[in-house]
Structure formats: structure tokens, C-alpha cells
Chain A
Amino acid sequence: MTESSWDESQPIVSIKDVHKSFGNLEVLKGISMDVMKGEVICIIGPSGSGKSTLIRCINALNDIQAGSITVEGIEVNDSKLDKLELRKKVGMVFQQYNLFPHKTALENVMMAPIKVLKQSPSDVESRARALIEKVRLQGKEDSYPGELSGGQQQRVAIARSLAMNPDIMLFDEVTAALDPETVKEVLVTIKDLAEEGMTCMLVTHEMGFAKEIADHIYFTDRGVIVEHGPPATFFADAKDERTKEFLSQIL
């Protein structure tokens, strides 16, 4: 499949029977899922079940041993893959924010479009200021990451990723390192994004949030998808024992 053959009637991210091992440890044992453009999907599951690994395979931070992942028709499991082109389409936000500590909030947002996409600094600046406003951080443009709270840093990280104009956003437990008061501000930002039609794939432990915004929820355990479905049915009548046990612990 080539890029030109992709259109919006097909899944924007298509994962088929993906296998991934670290040495002898098989972490993903045949995962498949399809995500349509504009959909919000949440991946939940116990620690160590391979959620982060899966999501990092989508933008080729991890490679896979077998199976196929396509993003807008581009095959990710391909030795000739142009990783940079892929990553321009896929934004990622990490649990630990990973802002560049030597740059201000505004510079963090502006750097990649200028250096990577070679856009003109003045255009980028006006867009970056708009993004900072969008994540409700006006006034913090010139603060360094060390001067911001966790929640604020995470919102800068989201703005930084959005500045690349990605088609898909990946969120890996982005609220897990935050204290409860600041979790909400980050979730609100993600919700805004989802409502604007951004395709989002989230790994999260926030069940209430998943229920509220997800179009589809996947439950993974030990490298396989045990159960999946839209939130209404997923939470109401989970069939698998492992899912039920997990939900009873967390809800």
C-alpha cells in the first residue's frame, strides 16, 4: 500500500497481528486494531501488559518483529520506512513530559516546526502563541519548564506536539505523573482536542475520562487484546474474567 492509495474511508492507523519481543520477552503477542480518522481510542490494562510498547511502535520508537502497522497507508514495519515523514504525521506526548529544559515554553513549541519543517519563524511564532493560548497557558510563554507545574509542563508538551500539525496524537499515560488537582486541566485539553476531531490514541488509567471521551476502548493483558468495545458496552458488560477483575480493582 502506498500513501496515495489511502483515503479517509480506510483506517488511519491499522494494526495487524503485531508481535514484539525484547530479547526473549515477548511483549506483544499478536495485536490488531483499526482506528478511523477522528476517532478517540483508549488502551487500558495492567502494568507491564505492553501498552506503552504498542503505542511507541506506531511512531517507530520501537520496531516490531512481525505483523503490520500502517499509518495513513504507510507501512511502519518496513526497513525503508522514512521515519521522519511518519513522525511528522504522528504526535506523541509522554508521561514524563520530556520538555527541553534549556528552552522556554514558547521556544519548546516553536523549535521543531522551525528546525524540522523549516517553516518561517514569524509564522511559527504566531501559531505557537495561539497554541499556548489554546492549552490555557497564556502568560507562561517565557517560563522555563523548571518553573512550571507538572500539569502546565504537560500542556506545553501537548502544544509542542500540536505545533507539528500531526494527524494523529498518541498519549502515553500523560496524567500518571501529575497530582490530582492538575490532572483535570490536562484532561480538559485532551478533550478539547478530541472534540475538534483529532485522532487520538490514549493509554490511560483514568477510567471516568476514558468512558467520557473514547469511541472505543481496548483492554490489553500480557501482550494481547483481551476485550474491546465502545465504552457503553465495555464497562457495562465485560465478558472476560481478566477484564472484570481489572475493572473491579480500578473503578
Chain B
Amino acid sequence: MIKPNKIPGIQSRPSTDLPVLKPFTAKAAGEPEDLLFSRWLASTPIWAWLLLIVIIFAWPGVSSAASSYTMTQAFQALWRWLPFIITGGFLFNVIISFFAMLIGTAFGVVLGLMQISPLRIIRWPAQFLTQIFRNSPWLVLLFIVLLALPFEVEIAGEIIRIPDWVKAVFGLCLPIMANISEVVRGAINSVPSGQWEAAESLAYTRQQTLWQIILPQCFKRMIPPWMNWYAILTMATPLCSLLGVEELITLSRQAIEAENNRPELLVPFYGFALLIFFAYCYPIARATIALERRFAVKL
């Protein structure tokens, strides 16, 4: 039995050991130690960035010492293809990540709330789905969705082809859904059970307690892990290139091919792709960590 803390003025966290909504002992996914990725990215020092840039752009000069291809030429090639790679490519990474996050979050919140249902018939399927999709390799999920979804659908007599990037959105929203489900469950479970008991003893129904007392308290705690998952998702979007979806990596490869497959171009092009991803996710990671600090002080 966890004895209540009797030190005056210091309130122990789980204020009671009585059985109100404690079906799990697993570590809450909303806990700060889960923001590993954002923490790592946000703490990358400037010199590491510079080093990365230098390596990428100095590469042609080093590797081409024996060839006729110069660094300037490599730069020019990259410069030429830049609009194509960004607007035709990276934009799609952003769009895919945006929609996958949107749909994943919507379903994830529902699944997370189902996970804390007092009814087993609701709780068990939700737990099962969460665990399955949370622990499956993302690429496998992507392939399954790609093959499972029909090539085209017929709506009101019209045949509409489902674009590959839409399938990619569905594939990627599955692991996001499962992870957001865990974030929601973790955040709800991080509210001390005394809050449930206090609301219950004031004649709140379970639904009222959840929506008016518990969720308002833990909503803010869900934001940093949610943003963390968005950054991870964005970093995972190049997987779609294996499915033939036109995005940054696919287009980079096409550009290199168009430049006669010069091996000196590999590192500048793919290195540039790496930089774009880091540059896009870096501010998100910084904001995640900043928010996490701010909320940690408040609650």
C-alpha cells in the first residue's frame, strides 16, 4: 500500500491507492522521457549543423579530385533542380505528414479514450489495435495499405484513381493513431486518481468527470508528445518513396538520373534532403521542448 505522504505541505502524487481507473501500470506515453527525438534534435549544437553542411558540399571536391566534375558544377546541378525537388518533392512530404497527422490524431484520440473505458468490450479492442499498430514496422504497414486499398474507386459512376500519396497517408496514419492513442491514455492516467474521486463524490458522471475535470488538466500535457510524433512522422515520410510516391527522395533520385547518374552528385543531393528534414523539424523540436518545460512548471 502506498501510504499518503504526511509531510506537511508536500502533496504526494498518487494521493490514494484506491482503485479508481488504474487498469495499467505501464509507463505513460505522455511522460517527458518519451520526447527523446525532440530532445535530441533540439539540443543539436550549431557547429554540428555547419559540419554537416561542410561535409555534404565539400564531398564532390574531395571525391572528384581525379575526375573532371568540379564542386561548382555539382552546386549548379543542385541549384538547377532545387525548385523541382522542393515544390514537387518536399511539399509532398509536408502534405503527407500533415494529413497523416490529422487523420492519425482524430482516430488516435478516439482510440485513446476507448482504452480507458470501464467496459471491457470497448477497452480490449482499443488496446489490441493500439499495441499492434504501435509495434509494427511502419514500412510493412505502408505496404499492406498500398496493396489492400483498391487501385481505384467508383463514386457515382465515376471512376476515380486513388493517388499513391493518399494511400501513403493512410499507411502512415496507422502508427500515428496508435501512438497518439497511447499519448492520450498516458496523459489521462497521469492525473491523480484523487481527481476522479473528488469529482465522483460531487455527483459528476464518468463522462462529465472525463471531459470537464480530467481532460482540461491533461490536454496541455499531450501537446509536446503530439508534436514529437509529428516530427518523427515527417522524418518517416521518405519511406513512401519505396512505394513510388513522388516526394523529396523520389525526385532527388530522378534529378540525379537526369544528370547522367554522376556518383559525385549522390552525397550533395541526398545530403541536401537530410538538411531539409532537419531544418524543418528543428523548430518543431525546439518548440516541443520549450512547451514541455513550460507545462512542467505549471502542473
Q: Residues of A with Cβ closer than 8 Å to B?
A: 22, 47-48, 52, 56, 59, 61-62, 83-85, 87-88, 90-92, 94-102, 111-112, 115-117, 149-150, 157, 160-161, 164, 176-180
Contact = CB atoms under 8 A, between A and B. Distances in A.
B9 A161 contact: no
Contacts of A157: 198
B212 interface: yes
Contact of B8 (A62, A85, A150, A160): A150
Given A59-B201, A97-B11, A117-B203, 14 more contacts: A52-B18, A83-B203, A87-B202, A92-B201, A94-B194, A95-B15, A96-B192, A98-B192, A98-B194, A99-B198, A111-B202, A164-B202, A177-B11, A179-B8
Contacts of B127: none
B140 to A, nearest CB: 41
Contact of B200 (A87, A176, A180): A87
Contact of A116 (B6, B8, B16, B204): B204
Nearest to A82: B203
Contacts of A111: 202, 212
Contacts of A48: 1
A102 B19 CA distance: 24
Contacts of A116: 202-204, 208
25 contacts: A52-B18, A61-B197, A61-B200, A61-B201, A84-B203, A84-B205, A87-B200, A87-B203, A88-B203, A90-B201, A95-B4, A96-B11, A96-B12, A97-B11, A98-B15, A98-B197, A100-B195, A100-B213, A102-B216, A112-B204, A115-B204, A116-B202, A116-B208, A164-B202, A180-B8
A130 B84 CA distance: 69
Contacts of B208: 115-116
A101 B11 contact: no
Interface residues of B, number: 32
A22 B17 CA distance: 12
Q: Which of A90, A96, A100, A102 has the most chain B CB within a 10 Å cutoff?
A: A96
A94 B198 contact: yes
Contact of A96 (B15, B20, B212): B15
A164 B203 CA distance: 9
A72 to B, nearest CB: 15
Given A111-B212, A177-B11, A96 B194 contact: yes
B18 to A, nearest CB: 7
B299 interface: yes
Contacts of B5: 177
Contacts, number: 89
Given A87-B201, A102-B216, A112-B203, A62 B9 contact: no
Given A98-B194, A98-B195, A177-B8, A61 B204 contact: no
A116 B201 CA distance: 11
A170 B8 CA distance: 22
Contacts of A100: 195, 198-199, 213, 217
Nearest to A62: B18
A177 B4 contact: yes
A56 B18 contact: yes
A78 B194 CA distance: 25
Contacts of B204: 112, 115-116
Nearest to A53: B18
Contacts of A180: 8
Contacts of A115: 204, 208, 212
Contacts of A98: 15, 192, 194-195, 197-198
A205 B203 CA distance: 28
Contact of B202 (A22, A47, A97, A112): A112
A158 to B, nearest CB: 12
B9 A150 contact: yes
B202 A161 contact: yes
Q: Which of A48, A92, A98, A160 has the most chain B CB within a 10 Å cutoff?
A: A98
Contacts of B8: 150, 177-180
B97 to A, nearest CB: 31
A94 B11 CA distance: 12
Contacts of B15: 94-96, 98
A96 B16 contact: yes
B201 A91 contact: yes
A4 to B, nearest CB: 21
Contact of B4 (A59, A176, A178): A176
A173 B6 CA distance: 11
Q: Which of B5, B199, B201 has the most chain A CB within a 10 Å cutoff?
A: B201
Nearest to B4: A95
Contacts of B12: 96
Which 10 residue pairs are nearest across A and B when measured between Cβ atoms?
Answer: A179-B8, A96-B15, A98-B198, A87-B203, A112-B202, A98-B194, A92-B201, A84-B203, A116-B203, A88-B203
